[in-house]
Amino acid sequence: MQIGAPAPQLALQAVASGRQFNLTEFRDRHVLLIFVSAYEARSTREVVIAVRQQFPEFQRLPIAIVINLRPVPRLLRRTVNNFMESAYREAAADVPPGFNPADHLILLPDWTGGVTNTYGINHSTASMYLVLVGPDSKITGAFHGQDATDKAIDFLRTLFDAE
């Protein structure tokens, strides 16, 4: 992923809400994409909570979690989907009153790994990838590694303070 390059399009169906998430719907605003493997999906909770504390408005900063589920055998997909829906309901209980959980908890299963691959993401390590797509649909920032929470907050503060 190169900063300034057009962000590859993605269209995935969100867990629980069933809404289709498509980057083209979010033109004219930043979108934070968090890419994780199936094994580290729960680790995104800390990042999302920290970012939402600093930037609570969905309209200002949508956050979507893309979960690479390609390694999950087809036979187990329903079970995994049920598990994700349960995790969604648990997390939705923490969404403050007045906010729509479907806007704040966007879990996007990437069953084939196609979106993850299109973004050039390799989950051979146990860390998440953060990709910030700008209002012009170009990649404005990317991070991979430990301390994702601090990096996300620092980067977003710099970005929004500059506006």
* pLDDT for res 65: 92
DSSP state of 23: G
Report the predicted TM-score, pTM, of the whole model to 2 decimal places. 0.90
For residue 62, is it within any domain?
Answer: yes
* pLDDT for res 2: 87
For residue 150, is it within any domain?
Answer: no
For residue 129, is it within any domain?
Answer: yes
For the chain, the domain total comes to 1
* 16 φ/ψ sector (left φ>0, alpha ψ -120 to 50, else beta): left
For residue 44, is it within any domain?
Answer: yes
Domain of 129? 11-141
For residue 163, is it within any domain?
Answer: no
Query: Which regions of the chain are under pLDDT 50?
Result: none
For residue 65, is it within any domain?
Answer: yes
* pLDDT for res 6: 95
Alpha-carbon dihedral angle through residues 25, 61, 16, 40, given to the nearest 10 degrees: 120
For residue 161, is it within any domain?
Answer: no
User: Burial level of 151, CB count in 10 A (0-12/13-18/19+)?
Assistant: middle
For residue 149, is it within any domain?
Answer: no
* pLDDT for res 163: 64
* pLDDT for res 162: 66
* pLDDT for res 60: 81
Query: 55-64: per-residue pLDDT in tens?
Result: 877 778 889 9
The CATH number that applies at residue 52 is: 3.40.30.10
